[in-house]
């Protein structure tokens, strides 16, 4: 019976060692990810530094489609790649221009969303 307990003990210790090495590998991967993201962020000029060729008249003239909830509009990024780049250059992928806020939710879905900026009194 003591052989069974010894084998079980060895197995549990082996599993715990594997968990610790896995945790160390995940920490290392996370550190590499943070370095890569900081380099990526540094490579993209911020919207404030970049002169934007975007004005309200240009943005109003784009073909906007009303969203299903009726709270805003969307347009494919091909309609205004400059706006797409400017929104992605912001930290939270949100950019206010005039009375509207332009938002990108997912880089894989190439749509720019447009919502009216809510006033504090509303």
* Percent residues over pLDDT 70 in the chain: 85
Nearest alpha-carbon partner for 64 in 117, 111, 8, 97: 111
How far apart CA 22 and CA 1 sit, in angstroms, is 32
- For residue range 87-115, what is the model confidence (pLDDT) as tens digits? 988 888 999 988 899 999 988 889 999 99
Answer whether 86's CB lies under 8 Å from 104's CB.
Answer: no
- Work out the average pLDDT over 28-51: 70
Q: Which residues pair with 102 in a beta bridge?
A: 95, 114
- Work out the average pLDDT over 35-61: 69
How far apart CA 79 and CA 109 sit, in angstroms, is 14
- For residue range 75-85, what is the model confidence (pLDDT) as tens digits? 999 998 889 98
Which pLDDT belongs to residue 53?
Answer: 62
Q: If you search the block for the tokens 């003239």, which residue do you land on?
A: 61
Which pLDDT belongs to residue 76?
Answer: 94
Which pLDDT belongs to residue 47?
Answer: 46
**What average pLDDT does the chain have?**
84
How far apart CA 51 and CA 65 sit, in angstroms, is 27
């Amino acid at each position: 019976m003591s052989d069974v307990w010894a084998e079980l003990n060895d197995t549990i210790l082996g599993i715990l060692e594997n968990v610790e090495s896995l945790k160390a590998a995940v920490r290392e991967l996370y550190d590499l990810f943070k370095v890569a993201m900081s380099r990526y962020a540094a490579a993209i000029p911020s919207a404030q530094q970049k002169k934007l060729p975007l004005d309200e008249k240009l943005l109003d003239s784009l073909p906007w489609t009303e969203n299903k909830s009726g709270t805003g509009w969307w347009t494919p990024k091909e309609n205004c790649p400059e706006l797409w780049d400017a929104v992605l250059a912001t930290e939270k992928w949100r950019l206010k221009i005039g009375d509207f806020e332009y938002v990108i939710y997912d880089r894989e879905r190439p749509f720019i969303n447009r919502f009216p900026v809510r006033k504090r009194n509303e």
